[in-house]
């Protein structure tokens, strides 16, 4: 009963494990794709972030220069250009960051599923070991039971043969079951001259 229960649990675990193994094969390929995409997005984000900071710094310098000079018209075109670029980058950066975060979230999900798979592998191995121990115990008990049955059959044969006139069997089985105190007397009584002469 216990062995059947363990086998049922092991089979259930094996089915779940197979599903996770197949899912993991797909996820590993996806993980590599997402990793490549993440690297590209991160590089793009860092590049645009640095560009944004440089443009913003340059814009602030131009604005300050135009305020300090009497004729700010010369810097107006450059200021407008930088303002346009800074505004564009300020809109692109949050989108890039959001895309990067989404990719990282997806990759963390894959990592979590792989962790669950590893835990299930360990649980399955542990269950297999428990099943092996239970089977060994079952075999040991069965062997012990068979030995008891064999001893019982021998004792039956002893009593049955002692009641017959079959002399060879009587010689073989003519060892009464007594306490150890009388063991020597019984042996000497069992092997008498009459029985010994039979063999000669």
Q: Express each pLDDT in 49-59 by its tens digit.
A: 999 999 999 88
191 phi, psi to nearest 5 deg: -100, 85
Positions of the chain with pLDDT under 50: 177, 179, 182-184, 186-187, 191, 193-200
Domain ranges for the chain, please list them: 2-150, 164-200
Nearest-angstrom CA–CA distance, 52 and 89: 6
pTM over 0.85: no
Q: How is domain 2-150 classified at the architecture level of CATH?
A: Orthogonal Bundle (1.10)
The residues near 127 (Cβ < 8 Å, ≥ 6 apart) are 6, 9, 10, 13
């Amino acid at each position: 009963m216990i062995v059947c229960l363990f086998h049922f649990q092991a089979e259930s675990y094996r089915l779940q494990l197979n599903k996770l193994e197949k899912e993991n094969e797909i996820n590993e390929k996806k993980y590599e794709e997402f990793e490549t995409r993440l690297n590209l997005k991160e590089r793009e984000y860092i590049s645009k972030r640095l560009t944004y900071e440089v443009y913003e710094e340059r814009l602030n310098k131009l604005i300050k220069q135009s305020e300090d000079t009497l004729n700010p018209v010369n810097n107006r075109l450059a200021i407008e250009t930088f303002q346009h670029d800074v505004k564009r980058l300020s809109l692109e950066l949050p989108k890039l960051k959001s895309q990067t975060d989404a990719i990282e979230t997806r990759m963390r999900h894959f990592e979590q599923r792989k962790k669950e798979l590893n835990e299930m592998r360990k649980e399955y191995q542990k269950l297999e070991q428990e099943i092996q121990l239970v089977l060994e115990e079952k075999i040991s008990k069965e062997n012990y039971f068979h030995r008891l049955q064999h001893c019982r059959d021998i004792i039956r044969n002893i009593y049955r043969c002692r009641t017959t006139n079959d002399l060879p069997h009587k010689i073989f089985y003519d060892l009464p079951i007594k306490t150890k105190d009388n063991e020597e007397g019984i042996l000497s009584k069992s092997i008498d001259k009459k029985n010994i002469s039979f063999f000669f």
